[in-house]
Amino acid sequence: MTNPLLNQTDLPRFSQITPEYIEQAIDDLLANARKVVDECLNANLLYNWKNLIEPIETAEDFLNKAWSPISHLNAVMNNEELRDAYNACLAKLSDYATGMGQNEKLFHAYKSIVSCETFKTLSKAQQKVIANVLRDFQLSGVALPMKQKKRYKEISQQLSALASNYEENVLDSTNAWTKLISDVNELAGLPETALAQAKQSAEIFQMEHNKKNVGSFHVKPENSGWLITLQFPSYLAVMTYADNRELRREHYTAFVTRASEGDFDNTEIMEKILALRHEEAQLLDFVNYAELSLATKMANSPNDVISFLEDLVQKSLPQARQDLNDLKKFALENYGIENLQAWDVSYLSEKMRQQHYQLSQEDVRSYFPSTKVLSGLFEILNRLYGLQISEILDFDRWHESVQLFEICDRAGQKRGRFYLDLFARTKKRGGAWMDDCIGRRKLDEHNIQYPVAYLVCNFTPPTADTPSLLTHDDVTTLFHEFGHGLHHVLTQIDYSGVSGISGVAWDAVELPSQFMENWCWEKDALALISSHYQTGEALPNSIFEKMLAAKNFQAGMTMVRQLEFSLFDFHIHLDFDPQRGGRIYEILNNIRQRISVLPIPEFNRFAHSFSHIFAGGYAAGYYSYKWAEVLSSDAFSLFEEKGIFDAETGRAFLTNILEQGGSDDAMTLFKNFRGREPSSDALLRHNGIQVNDRNN
């Protein structure tokens, strides 16, 4: 069979991508990209967009369209053979990226384009591509002496491998822990939907066990019990609803110690990552990795980030302390619990929510079947931006539950497509994310390569008797990832370096995603995305009013928890000391002692599974969630003024933000939409944070 990664079609052929094809394809595409660069550099004395940038962009686009489905499959359908093939390519890709970034002849070729008169004839987007590339040359060590270039290359390869190992340990340790329960009374308090899911998980587990031991097993096992796991829907159900305090303690302990011992221990990996990042930063003449990280972000300096976070801490901490005091009082008066523990917080918070607001998350879930949420979301996007979204049924998918959709604009013009993979399963990375499958770019005068996105969540899957029912938190997660997807798919920029999510400052990339979450709290929008899965009844106004009243329940604790993560991430990169090592938990504990209000046991090793910063793109950048939330809250405040479905405001957001990708400075794009610089007032208001005069 022809290698499906080399014989590319408009969408990846996932069913044909097997491990034996991967390394060969990446080798061939890397060789081709290097050949194209050499031919461009050797054939021209006067470089321009057409004879240098465009051919390199084309060659690297072929490489990206092969690597994207490989990387995606490694995240959503992980197995040992695929993992080996994936890891075998990481060093090769890192070597290519470093080699291109340190190619002095290529660097000077790009610089020569800037100094030519023809540079002025290029579009703003093309000029931004070149500016970004020249910046990235500097950040790849193009100006370093040969010895330091070699060391930079070694560091890049090691960091790539370590990040992959870190994520594998998190996935493997998550999958390694299960608890089979034979007496359903041990799960007292869990709602029927969670029990049905645990029962189905136990049946699947038993059948897979029998297949391994017998070779084939097709009879549904009887009395298989109930299986709880560290997959997030299972974990959340136990921590929120299980009356059995000892079970909650056991489950919590397993979750917060993932990847911290035995075969899946990330301790040494974390230390190596921090040390290598610091060394990389100093090679490039930055004091620390935090400074290096900000070279591609909106924030100007580490002091700007720290001041921003500390200001939010000061404004949020009084309310967070009051939130905890209220919970402690509730726990003592209603459950006789004097010594509140971490594994009690979610459980008692849900009980307190039910008592204060007569609102059960399980009752709310009944009104959010995933199919209704999705159709309502599409209607919201139609009203906001005039989008028409239709499902494509005949396509090559990586799992039977995956869906594919096409987006067209109000004129009927195709904008792009997106895959939707909603449900949790083993061998799939936890969490929710959006990633690009294919980027938009202009192929020639008459043809456009349309963008394609992956949207991935880990919601509770349907059972034989019940559809997938989403919590309201799940709904906001779906809207969040959809915001990212729209940013990628709706772009009208024709150059892949700055189209879609490419080239967007990391602390601005969360603007479209957090922006979309706001519609999950609007009555007129909720009417579109909700109906009872059995009766079809609309979400009652009484429940909506309770949801609204409870919206900012424990908002202070939630805000401070996120600020704790952000400060921890930034300080371990800002304050790294080569003589003393990462001091990961020393720094974390110092921050917790100062600002945390929640009880955190000493055995909690959450950093060992903090993939955002050790295996994702958020190193010294986790603050971006709050930074961008200022932008998104302020952007939505204009819809609050004009109307949440105001077409004119929707068009303004579409044309100034979603369609622009990374083609201009993020602050410029925001001001083009809002007419001014952002204010944090809307962020605090939306989060229910009451700011006293003494905190101003």
Binning pLDDT at 50, 70 and 90, where does residue 541 land?
A: very high
Quote the CA–CA distance of 234 and 459 in Å, as a whole number.
10
Using CB atoms within 10 Å of the CB of residue 491, give its burial: 0 to 12 exposed, 13 to 18 middle, 19+ buried. Answer: buried
Cβ atoms within 10 Å, residue 549: 13
DSSP secondary-structure letter at 436? E
- What proportion of the chain, given as a percentage, has pLDDT over 70? 97
For 306-341, the DSSP string reads HHHHHHHHHHHHHHHHHHHHHHHHHHHHHH--SS--
pLDDT at 20 over 60: yes
pLDDT at 553 over 70: yes
Domain spanning 14-101+103-139 has what CATH number?
A: 1.20.1050.40
Residue 222 scores a pLDDT above 60: no
DSSP string, 56-96: HHHHHHHHHHHHHHHHHHHHHS--HHHHHHHHHHHHHHHHH
Between 372 and 696, where is the model more confident?
372
pLDDT for 204 equals: 87
Residue 372: predicted pLDDT: 98
For residue 213, the model assigns a pLDDT of 63
**Residues belonging to the active site:** 481
Q: What is the pTM of this model?
A: 0.94
Domain 370-531+625-695 maps to which CATH number in 2.60.40.10, 1.10.1370.40, 1.10.8.10, 3.40.190.10? 1.10.1370.40
- Place 695 in a pLDDT band, splitting at 50, 70 and 90: very low
**Which pLDDT value is given to residue 223?**
60
Question: What average pLDDT does the chain have?
Answer: 95
Average pLDDT over every residue of 607-612: 98
Per-residue model confidence as pLDDT tens digits over 423-464: 999 999 999 999 999 999 999 989 999 999 999 999 999 998
Q: Is the pLDDT of residue 506 over 50?
A: yes
Render pLDDT for 622-639 as a digit per residue (tens, 0 to 9): 999 999 999 999 999 999
pLDDT value at position 138? Answer: 97
Both structure tokens of 338: 């004097």
The pLDDT-based confidence of 363 (bands split at 50, 70, 90) is: confident
**pLDDT above 80 for 214:** no
For the chain, domain boundaries? 14-101+103-139, 177-230+238-258, 271-357+555-620, 370-531+625-695
Note the pLDDT of residue 211. 67
Give 24-75 pLDDT, tens digit per residue. Answer: 999 999 999 999 999 999 987 899 999 999 999 999 999 999 999 999 999 9
Which residues have CB under 8 Å from 397's CB, separation 6+?
Answer: 14, 15, 404, 419
Tell me what the mean pLDDT of segment 266-292 comes to: 98
Contact 265, 277 (CB under 8 A): no
CATH of region 271-357+555-620: 1.10.1370.10
pLDDT of residue 696: 39
Q: What is the mean pLDDT of residues 328-356?
A: 97
Confidence of residue 187 (pLDDT cuts 50, 70, 90): very high
Q: 581: alpha, beta or left, given left = phi > 0 and alpha = psi -120 to 50? A: left
Long-range contacts of 291-298 (CB under 8 A, 24+ apart): 292/139, 292/620, 293/573, 293/619, 293/620, 293/621, 294/620, 295/135, 295/139, 296/135, 296/139, 296/505, 296/506, 297/505, 297/506, 297/507, 297/621, 297/624, 298/505, 298/507, 298/508, 298/627, 298/666, 298/667
Q: Which whole number is the average pLDDT over 679-688? A: 88
> Is pLDDT of 551 > 70?
yes
Q: Does 217 have pLDDT greater than 60?
A: no
Are the folds of 14-101+103-139 and 271-357+555-620 the same? no
Confidence band for 117, pLDDT divided at 50, 70 and 90 = confident
Residue 308's nearest CA partner among 507, 120, 133 is 507
In this predicted structure, what is the pLDDT of residue 380? Answer: 98
Q: Residue 572, CB half-sphere, CA atoms under 13 Å: how many?
A: 34
